[in-house]
Amino acid sequence: MQFNAVLDQLKLYEAGKPIELVVREYGIEAKDVIKLASNENPRGCSLKVIEAVREEASKMNLYPDDSMYELKGALATKFGVHDENVIIGSGSDQVIEFAIHAKSNPSSKVLMAGITFAMYEIYTLQTGGKVLKTASAQHDLAQMLELYKANKDVAIIILCIPNNPLGECVDTKDVYAFLDEISPETLVIIDGAYQEYASFKDSAKKIIPSDIIAKYPNTLYTGTFSKAYGLGGMRCGYGIAQPEVIKALLKLRAPFNITNLTLKAAIVALSDESFVEASVRENFEQMKAYEAFAKELGFEIIESYTNFIVFTFDKDKKSAEIAQKLMEKGIIVRNLGSYGMNAIRVTIGTPEQNARFFESFKTLYM
């Protein structure tokens, strides 16, 4: 059977290994497995959300409110925009998918950092578009601007602020200066999946969606409930843009693209900002232990503005081997070999999880 030729260019996205896989393959009890691979919130989610979802469970036979009126309204209030500025997706990556499919085509190009979220490239190739990447792995806006000016038909620029999977983050003032140089016909997607973390650590990194879409109508800001809000399993994200952009994206959205349980969870999560603040604060308190650990063992790290940290290794240590041996001990981390790096990405866990990671790593490599 023949399929579209473009599929020959696509690689499958490599998600973090699930706990269930480690249980099956290594005979480790689920309670003894810790997952530090997918940047989930180790604190779980707000207890208010759990209670609300329990109450909503009796409505699983009903389709959700496809207008998503209440959630859009809550997001509009939080970010100082209007309902018509908001679109809801099954994770923010679905909103990004809509945007790339709406704007990219076989005669256009999509510009991104040298190493960034893999789905940007996958979505672009699905449309037949060409991917442009900077020579720099991290976000180098000067390089990006040079590439932009040197190439015709750049339909989309994607800025991951802060960047997944590396963790670095550009300053907001530099983003604005960059946007000043971009044509209003080029869509700029600002992926803010980890903005709650970056803006907490350094206010100079904070993106204010209402400000940026007002000054630059060609921008689309995306955010998610999967990280700081602890709702990765509920799959809910959002986009904020001018109504012209939102209307185009809505044409690609299937009806009922998120569940009624997801809607309820996200709405209630927004009402418990104290949970998010506590989660983010604890994240950076625990990150200090990782920074000290790397210094003690002599590993390089990338300064992180997220809920994960990247360790890079010399040639005498192989990231694939490290990740594998840790997994055999019931500790799941992310090997970044698929990005061409000899590095692992480790989600910042609870104090107990982090202590176990340090102990296991030392046992293996000291």
Q: Which residues of 9-32 are buried (b: 16+ CB within 10 A; e: fewer)?
A: eeeeeeebbebeebbeeeebeeee
DSSP SS3 for 343: strand
pTM, two decimals, is: 0.94
- Angle CA 73–78–82, to nearest 5: 45
CA angle, corner 124, sides to 120 and 130, nearest 5? Answer: 120
Q: What is the DSSP letter of 233?
A: G
Is the bond into 162 cis (omega within 30 degrees of 0)? yes
Q: Which residue is listed with tokens 């040079």?
A: 146
Q: Which of 197, 191, 228, 236 is nearest to 212 (CA)?
A: 191
Q: Which residues, other chains included, contact 351 with Cβ-Cβ below 8 Å and sequence gap of 6+? A: 286
Distance of CA 67 to the CA centre of its chain: 25
Which strand (E) or helix (H) includes residue 195? Answer: helix 195-201
Q: Which residue reads 């990006």 in tokens? A: 144
**pLDDT tens digit at each of 366 positions of the chain:** 877 877 777 777 666 677 787 778 778 888 888 999 999 999 999 999 999 999 999 999 999 999 999 999 999 999 999 999 999 999 999 999 999 999 999 999 999 999 999 999 999 999 999 999 999 999 999 999 999 999 989 999 999 999 999 999 999 999 999 999 999 999 999 999 999 999 999 999 999 999 999 999 999 999 999 999 999 999 999 999 999 999 999 999 999 999 999 999 999 999 999 999 999 999 999 999 999 999 998 889 999 999 999 999 988 789 999 999 999 999 999 999 989 999 999 999 999 999 999 999 998 876
Domains of the chain and CATH, by start: 5-45+274-365 (3.90.1150.10), 47-272 (3.40.640.10)
Q: Are residues 360 and 324 in contact, defined by beta-carbon separation less than 8 angstroms?
A: no
Distances (CA, A) of 120 to 53, 98, 147, 236: 32, 11, 17, 18
